[in-house]
Amino acid sequence: MKTKLAILALMGATGIAFAAPQTFDFKDPKGINNAGFKLDAPLEAINGNASGVSGTVTFDPENPGATKGKIVVTTASLMLPNPMQRTHMLSDKWLDAAKFPEISFEAKEFKNVQSAGVTTTADVTGTFTLKGVSKELTVPVKLTYMKDKLSDRVPNLKGDLLVIRAGFSIKRGDFNINPGQYEDKVSDTIELTLSIAGAAPK
């Protein structure tokens, strides 16, 4: 009887351990994580990306709908191929990177959660903050849980990976970035993409 109870207790403990949410750190040592942005402009589209991605996401493979977390992008890490455009973009006339050093998205609620194998798609509602203005947005995301794959990416480190992909649009005017101005030169709509992987070492 005692043995059975011990086995049950062990199974229960193991089950709890497996079901426990994991915290994934999105500071990428390989420098792959990036957030892309695109704005239409008359001569050519303004296409750039940011590599300064950090943040944590708590993910439970048994309950992906309970995922929560915050992803932060360093404003100064935004890159453009043209140096003058980049200087203008980071200046106080546009993003004011000195005053607003971070762009963030904090996930609060997952809806329309659909899981198939290791992949989960959902609509995430959260708070997007840009240039000091916070707005609630609902963003479609795709999560891929890669169990025990951390060592394939970072040798000598065991653990899991969580890949997040998202794509959505915002209006720069909504975030106090020259609202209603220069729309003949730079579109109001900004297309954003997020391609990031987080690690949960064991």
CB 164 within 8 A of CB 198: yes
Binding site for another protein (CB under 8 A): 30-34, 36, 43-44, 47, 49, 51, 79-83, 85, 144, 146, 149, 152-153, 161, 163, 165, 195-197
| Nearer Cβ to another protein (97/162) | 162
Q: What share of the chain is helix, strand, coil (3-state, %, to 5)?
A: 20, 50, 30
CB nearer another protein, residue 36 or residue 65: 36
Given CA atoms 144, 26, 48, 124 in this order, what sign does their dihedral have? positive
> What minimum distance in Å lies between the beta carbon of 155 and another protein?
11
Residue 20 CB, nearest approach to another protein (Å): 23
Beta carbon nearer to another protein, 90 or 146 = 146
d(CA 59, CA 68): 7
* Closer Cβ to another protein, 14 or 87, answer by number: 87
Min dist CB 103 to another protein, Å, is 17
Ramachandran region, residue 18 (left: φ > 0; alpha: ψ -120 to 50; beta: rest)? alpha
